[in-house]
Amino acid sequence: MNINFNIAPKSNFITYYLKKIMEKEYKKLFMNMEEVNPSSKLFEKIMLRISREEKLVIVKKRIAVFSVFLAISLGGFVYSFITVQNAFVSSGFTQFFSLIFSDFNIVIAYWQNFLFTLLESLPVFAMIISLVMFSIVLGFLTFLMKDMKFINSNNILRKKYGY
Amino acid sequence: MHQNIYYCRINKIYTMDNDSDEKLVEYFLEGEKRALEILVFRYFKMIYNFCYRNVGDINVAEDITQETFVKVWKNLNKFDKNKKFKTWLFQIAKNTCIDYLRKKKSIPFSKFENEDGDNNFVDNFEDISPLPDEIFKKKDLAVFLEKTVSKLPDANKMVIILYYKNDFNFREIAEILNEPIDTIKSRYRRGLISLRKLIGDYEY
Amino acid sequence: MDIKKFFDSKIFIVFFIIGEIILLLLAFGIGIIIGSKKADFSCNMDKNYERNFGGPNIPGDLNGDLGSSHGIFGQIIKIDDNFIIIKDSNSTEKVISVEGDAAIKKFRDTIKLSDLKVDDRIVVIGSPNDNGEIEAKLIRLMPSPPSGSNDPVNNANNNENLK
């Protein structure tokens, strides 16, 4: 369509109408502009990324909670460890055990009595509590390490893509 | 009663594909995760194209597209239901593109912001003239158009693309680019003039 | 046979469970043996309380854990002919019978019963007899702890003095 704008009468209605035609033409032109197709897996990548971010939120909350529990259980473990240490000393186990080094031959000669002495003076309940506390600390630590590993891998990906 | 709620829910899932963007956002906020999937599927190619035309790299465009939708997911609870979702989505995409380009420092930030940059093409034209008929008969029109549009100044190019390719009006483009509407109209006019000049200069 | 495959296999899990059960039963059995020995000793101590300590058994006096029936670590409170009365960290008193075959040690030297005196701290390994006494096989004289140290025997004495 060849219209010389300078010759045509200049009324608002005509100008508006001509501009609309022009817009239609450009619209028709841009319809020929091809869409660039992304890789076939972009959609999956996006959804995967969103689900990873969702998991990140959960993991961060979990880390906060587990850290508190870890601190408490660590305190409990330290206390139980000190209790075990005291229990070993007060029961005489440490003193009995030291006889292996000072009187090895006699201890071997009366090994059954020595063994019974050791077993009877073993502070079993204090040890059990200490080991339970240690297992709890280890458990929380393991969960925390796993979550930290996930966050670390996420950070590496963020750095790689410059975000 | 429980059976009815169950069937309503199943029905909702299967009919969601035809729902408006704003309705899908509402469903997602109610806990329907598939609504977000539908939204992403609806727009991911469009956003990818938009990003690609801004950054010029297919891998980077993919990364920015991913990052855009992650930001959308993170901020959906803050989305203003009175606004158009598509506009808001493109706003996020544009900001993410700018963030990337700023970090890479490949394009000065002012190229997006300054509408009064030197534009030699404007000087000799009084108004935007219609397109020559020959252009529609051109064999490699798509490639030609791509190359021609890429020569436009970035600020004007973005307005033209959003107007003609993504069907936004000036008000929506102003919202996306966070500029006054008059600035957008001015960039549109300048962009079109430049485009017309480039098309006119080509020998058919 | 691939070791990793073995550890991941179900057979290993079965063996592991059986092993755990065996260990549990073993521990339980040892506990029963030690418990019954302690029970025998406490029974004999109770029967011979008047003979050993020169007074009737006050109810509640022999309460709590009597400690090892095959050894004791504590402070000498009385030496009488071939008998030593020792008080441990739980303030439990036991009678040690010193026969000719008992070895009495101080550092590397062998000493005699007459070299021991009241308030000495000793470790004794022996075997319980039917009189509620421990027949010593090995007596080791322990050095006195430095003042202010966390010594269970001293702490027990201090607690008693405070009462």
pLDDT for position A153? 86
- A119 contacts in chain C (CB < 8 Å): 30, 34
Based on C-alpha coordinates, what's the Rg of chain C?
Answer: 22
Which chains have at least 3 CB atom pairs separated by less than 8 Å from chain B?
Answer: A
pLDDT for position B123? 36
Do the Cβ atoms of A92 and C34 come within 8 Å? no
ipTM of the predicted structure? 0.77
pLDDT tens, residue by residue, C12-50: 888 889 999 999 999 998 889 888 888 888 888 778 777
Q: Give the distance from residue A90's alpha carbon to the nearest chain C alpha carbon, in angstroms.
A: 5
Regarding pTM above 0.80, the answer is no
Task: Return the closest-CA partner of residue B16 out of B26, B6, B5.
Answer: B26
- A92 belongs to a structural domain: yes
Please give the angle made by the CA atoms of A34, A38 and A41, to the nearest 5 degrees: 150
- Domain endpoint, select from B56, B89, B104: B104
Q: Do C138 and C125 form a contact (C-beta atoms < 8 A)?
A: yes
DSSP run (H or E) holding C142? strand C133-142
- A86 contacts in chain C (CB < 8 Å): 150, 152
User: Counting Cβ atoms within 10 Å, is residue B156 exposed (0-12), middle (13-18) or buried (19+)?
Assistant: buried
At which residue do the structure tokens 């689900």 appear?
A51
Note whether B98 contacts A: Cβ–Cβ < 8 A. Answer: no
For residue C73, give the nearest of A86, A95, A113 by CB distance: A95
Could you tell me which CATH class the domain C1-163 is placed in? mainly beta
Confidence class for position B202, pLDDT limits 50, 70, 90? low
- How far apart CA C158 and CA C156 sit, in angstroms, is 5
Q: Do B42 and A46 form a contact (C-beta atoms < 8 A)?
A: no
Note whether A21 contacts B: Cβ–Cβ < 8 A. Answer: yes
Residue B40 has pLDDT above 60, yes or no: yes
- How far apart CA B168 and CA A30 sit, in angstroms, is 14
Half-sphere CA count of A72, side-chain side, radius 13 A: 6
pLDDT for position A62? 94
pLDDT for position C148? 61
Do the Cβ atoms of C123 and A95 come within 8 Å? yes
Note whether B136 contacts A: Cβ–Cβ < 8 A. Answer: yes
Write down the number of H helices and E strands in chain A.
Answer: 6, 0
pLDDT tens, residue by residue, B59-82: 999 999 999 999 999 999 999 888
Residue B46 structural domain: 2-104
Average pLDDT, rounded, for chain B: 80
Do the Cβ atoms of C73 and A96 come within 8 Å? yes
Residue C151 has pLDDT above 70, yes or no: no
Residue C31: both structure tokens together? 């506990």
My answer on whether B96 and B154 are in the same domain is no
At which residue do the structure tokens 């935007």 appear?
B128
Q: Count of residues for chain C?
A: 163
Number of independent structural domains in chain A: 1
| C133-142 vs C103-106, strand pairing mode | parallel
Q: Which of B102, B103, B127 to mutate to test the interface with A (most CBs of A within 10 A)?
A: B127
At which residue do the structure tokens 């050095």 appear?
C143
User: DSSP characters for B20-85?
Assistant: -HHHHHHHHHTT-HHHHHHHHHHHHHHHHHHHHHHH--HHHHHHHHHHHHHHHHHHGGG--TTS-H
pLDDT tens, residue by residue, B113-131: 444 444 433 333 345 666 7
pLDDT for position C137? 92
Task: Return the closest-CA partner of residue B166 out of B93, B55, B86.
Answer: B86
pLDDT for position B9? 54
Note whether B10 contacts A: Cβ–Cβ < 8 A. Answer: no
pLDDT for position C10? 83
3-state secondary structure of C153: helix
Q: Give the distance from residue B6's alpha carbon to the nearest chain A alpha carbon, in angstroms.
A: 25
Which of the 8 DSSP states describes residue C60? T
Q: Which of C28, C66, C73, C110 to mutate to test the interface with A (most CBs of A within 10 A)?
A: C73
Q: Which residues 6+ apart lie within 8 Å of C134 measured at CB?
A: C69, C70, C71, C72, C94, C95, C96, C97, C124, C126, C127, C128
CA A99 and chain centroid, separation? 49
Residue B194: both structure tokens together? 């430049």
Please give the angle made by the CA atoms of A77, A70 and C8, to the nearest 5 degrees: 90
Residue B14 has pLDDT above 80, yes or no: no
pLDDT for position B42? 93
Note whether C111 contacts A: Cβ–Cβ < 8 A. Answer: no
Q: Over range C109-137, report the average pLDDT.
A: 89
Number of independent structural domains in chain B: 2
pLDDT for position C43? 84
pLDDT for position B117? 44
- A143 belongs to a structural domain: yes
| Rounded percentage of chain C residues whose pLDDT exceeds 70 | 80
Which of the 8 DSSP states describes residue A35? P
Residue A115 structural domain: 60-163
Q: Where residue B193 sits, what CATH number does that domain have?
A: 1.10.10.10
DSSP run (H or E) holding B204? none
Question: What's phi and psi for C62, nearest 5 deg?
Answer: -100, 50
pLDDT for position B125? 37
Q: Over range C142-161, report the average pLDDT.
A: 66
pLDDT for position A67? 94
> Which carries the bigger pLDDT value, residue C131 or residue A137?
A137
pLDDT tens, residue by residue, B138-153: 778 888 888 888 888 8
- A34 belongs to a structural domain: no
User: Are chains B and C in contact at 3+ CB pairs closer than 8 Å?
Assistant: no
Going from the C-alpha of C56 to that of each of B37, C62, C88, C128, C163, the distances in angstroms are 86, 12, 21, 21, 22
pLDDT for position A40? 87
- Digit-by-digit pLDDT tens for chain A (163 residues) are 555 555 445 567 777 777 777 788 888 888 888 888 888 899 999 999 999 999 999 999 999 999 999 999 999 999 999 999 999 988 889 999 999 998 899 999 999 999 999 998 888 889 999 999 999 999 999 999 999 998 888 887 766 655 4
Q: Give the distance from residue A11's alpha carbon to the nearest chain B alpha carbon, in angstroms.
A: 15
pLDDT for position A10? 52
Do the Cβ atoms of A36 and B136 come within 8 Å? no
Q: Where residue B22 sits, what CATH number does that domain have?
A: 1.10.1740.10
My answer on whether B68 and B92 are in the same domain is yes
Please give the angle made by the CA atoms of B43, B45 and B51, to the nearest 5 degrees: 100
My answer on whether B14 and B86 are in the same domain is yes
Residue A68: both structure tokens together? 């508190």
- Domain endpoint, select from B104, B130, B165: B104
pLDDT tens, residue by residue, A120-157: 888 888 999 999 999 999 999 999 999 999 888 888 77
Question: What's phi and psi for C83, nearest 5 deg?
Answer: -120, 140
My answer on whether B68 and B114 are in the same domain is no
- Domain endpoint, select from B79, B104, B129: B104
Do the Cβ atoms of C71 and A113 come within 8 Å? yes
pLDDT for position B39? 93
My answer on whether B9 and B71 are in the same domain is yes
Q: Over range B17-22, report the average pLDDT.
A: 85
> Which carries the bigger pLDDT value, residue B204 or residue A126?
A126
For residue A32, give the nearest of B103, B145, B192 by CB distance: B145
